[in-house]
Amino acid sequence: MSQTDLSRRNLLTLSVLVIASRSAPTVLSRRLLPGPFPRLVRMPLPTSAADIQAQGGDTQNAHQFRAPFPVSHAGLSWHGAPDADIETRYAGPNKKWSQWEPFWLSADMSVDTNLTNSKDTSSSRFFSALLRTEQALEFQVRVLSGLVSRMEISLIDAQSNSPSPAIPKGDALPAPSIITRAMWKADESLRAKNPSHAPIERFILHHTATSNKDNNPEATVRAIYAYHTETREWSDIGYNFLIDAKGHVYEGRWARDYKKEELHDGEDQTHQGVIGAHAKNHNTGSCGIALLGNFEKAVPSAAGIAALNTLLAWKNAVHKLNPRSIHKNLPRIMGHKDVGSTLCPGKRFFALLPAIRKETEKIILASQLENPGYRVILRSGKVQNFGTAATTTLATHTPQDNPPHSSASTPIVSAMESATGYWLAAKNGEVLAFDDAKFYGSMGGKHLNKPITAIAPTPTNKGYWLAAQDGGIFAFGDARLHKARTADHHTLSRIITMRASIGGRGYYLLSSEGEIHTFGDAKFHGSLTPPTDENRDDPAVALVLLLPQSVSSLLDSHRKNDTFR
């Protein structure tokens, strides 16, 4: 969707002219009762002083026309100046008038309609984006500037009392959950039967320029569908997908009938995408995705952008497209304004495009990562390899305090991966480093009050800590000792495991009683404490740390420079 420049420029034409009509409006098309939502009527509006007086209004005072039903969304079309300032306000059952709101020009176009930039626009018909009007029963419309004629308002009731759909679970990563047309209650009689398809080459992002405060986005999707088919007379809703502020993805233009378990992907059986109506001259070969709302001044919601990224990742992955690549001189993922003179998808949304491309790529790469194998470590230090983890070499090092052994002299108690190798720690403090994991020292051959129970590498893998059962910590390489953050560290006992904090300047210790002890920058979130007889029977055995954006850092190391621009 779009508008042209809506600043209050050159008020050269009409003084404030209030369109009024006391008499019942002429209804061009009527589909009021009964049947599925939405209801939509189109009514012509007078545009000249003579028209208004002829219909019983006057040019000085506001007169409103009544709607035939509570109106949830309204759209306007007109001839003349595409940048005309036309406003409306409305009142619902409580009779309170809303603020004046402008009708935003929509630049979302079907393949067979034309919004020209030439001087001869007088014969062209222009359409606004839809306005959310709550439950409006009365309207006023005024033209602030711009010569317009043959105005027509579309009044839509897309509200429904039936409950909103349950959101289905998406398929395998990265396919998102999609609210199907049946779920958002699309009236399938409104659309044409035989859509056209073409291979998907790119993704064009839009905003709908509708309200950002929308308590019923499903109704707005229905309203857009009715507006596109009945007022704009397109064969179906223009967009291929729509996304609301909570991150719900709605199936847009109908592509085919789906089998029950099939994902509604907007494509035919050969994975050609259905051709939508959203970006003039670029509908064929593109997938049009619209975020509900107006993002010229407001920033899209995080949930909306996250859903968009997931949707884009899924589509790019299916079609094997690089989301950061250029194709036929245009980005694979772009905003409507990249191919048309429009503000769509809004300044704040458009500014997010580089981040969206990057995040889309990350999701795709993350979904392609897999563990190539694993090793099972036996108490004796023997290693069983599975998958491609077939070979293992003891690191070649000659530290004075711990000459290399093929196995430790006491039982192995802990193992940790490095990026491309691993360490084993033995009860007596010996450390064995394998493959590319480096040896940074050990407690082998030194006096220990209590046996070693855990080894924890630093995030850089350039060092590690050893933890003893009594909470004694020994640091090697770039590992540092940190101050306890939990008060009762003097009671440390039965420590069974240790993990570095994500920041790397601290660590967690876990006791078999389930007590968590935090050191340095390790954030404390709670603990099983004090120990009771109950959890002595059910000891803690492992600590799993939750990671923020865990794939991001991983992927940076997997990225190949020559693949991306």
Could you list the residues that contact Zn ion (CB under 5 A)? 1, 108, 206, 336, 344
Q: In angstroms, rounded to a whole number, what is the distance separating the alpha carbons of residues 524 and 159?
A: 47
Shortest Cβ 511–Zn ion spacing (Å) = 58
Report in angstroms the alpha-carbon separations of 301 from 291, 306, 354.
10, 9, 17
The 3-state secondary structure of 88-152 reads EEEECCCCCECCCEECCECCCCCCCCCCCCCCCCCCCEEEECCEEEEEEEEEEEEEEECCEEEEE
Distance of closest approach, residue 192 Cβ to Zn ion, in angstroms: 21
Query: Closest CB to Zn ion among 108 and 361?
Result: 108
Spatial distance between the Cα atoms of 384 and 94, rounded to a whole number of angstroms: 75
Supply the DSSP string of 405-459, one letter for each residue. Answer: -SS-SS-EEEEEE-SSEEEEEETTS-EEEEETPPP----TTS--SS-EEEEEE-T
Q: What is the maximum alpha-carbon separation in the chain?
A: 105
Which two tokens mark 358?
A: 């990057």
Query: 1 vs 179, which CB is nearer to Zn ion?
Result: 1
Least distance from Zn ion to the Cβ atom of residue 88, Å: 21
CB closer to Zn ion, 208 vs 428:
208
Q: Report how far apart the first and last C-alpha atoms of the chain are (Å, whole number).
A: 29
Pair of tokens at residue 334: 């772009």
Shortest Cβ distance from residue 1 to Zn ion (Å)? 5
The distance from CA 202 to its chain's CA centroid, rounded to whole angstroms, is 18
| Shortest Å distance, C-beta 3 to Zn ion | 10
Q: Two tokens at 515? A: 């007590």
Q: Where are the beta strands (DSSP E) in 182-292?
A: 197-198, 202-207, 241-243, 249-251, 273-274, 286-291
How many Cβ atoms are within 10 Å of 159's Cβ, its own excluded? 21
When computed from its CA atoms, the radius of gyration of the chain, rounded to whole angstroms, is 32
* Closest to Zn ion by CB, 129 or 178: 129
User: Which one, 87 or 296, has the nearer CB to Zn ion?
Assistant: 296
Q: Within 10 Å of residue 385's Cβ, how many Cβ atoms?
A: 13
Q: How far is the CB of 335 from Zn ion (least distance, A)?
A: 8
Give the nearer residue to Zn ion in terms of CB position, either 344 or 466.
Answer: 344
Contacts of 556 (CB under 8 A, 6+ apart): none
41 vs 344, which CB is nearer to Zn ion?
344
CB 151 within 8 A of CB 47: yes
Nearer to Zn ion, 291 or 344 (CB): 344
CB 239 to Zn ion: min, Å: 9
CB of 128 to Zn ion, least distance (A): 13
Compute the distance between CA of residue 190 and CA of residue 38 in angstroms, rounded to an integer. Answer: 10
Q: Name the residue nearer to Zn ion (CB basis): 288 or 463.
A: 288
* Dist CA 26 CA 288 (whole Å): 35
Which residue's CB is nearer to Zn ion, number 73 or number 206? 206
How many Å apart are CA 348 and CA 358, to the nearest integer? 17
Question: Minimum distance between the CB of residue 132 and Zn ion, rounded to whole angstroms?
Answer: 18
CB-nearer residue toward Zn ion: 17 or 344: 344
Q: How far is the CB of 100 from Zn ion (least distance, A)?
A: 24
Q: Minimum distance from CB of 233 to Zn ion (Å)? A: 18
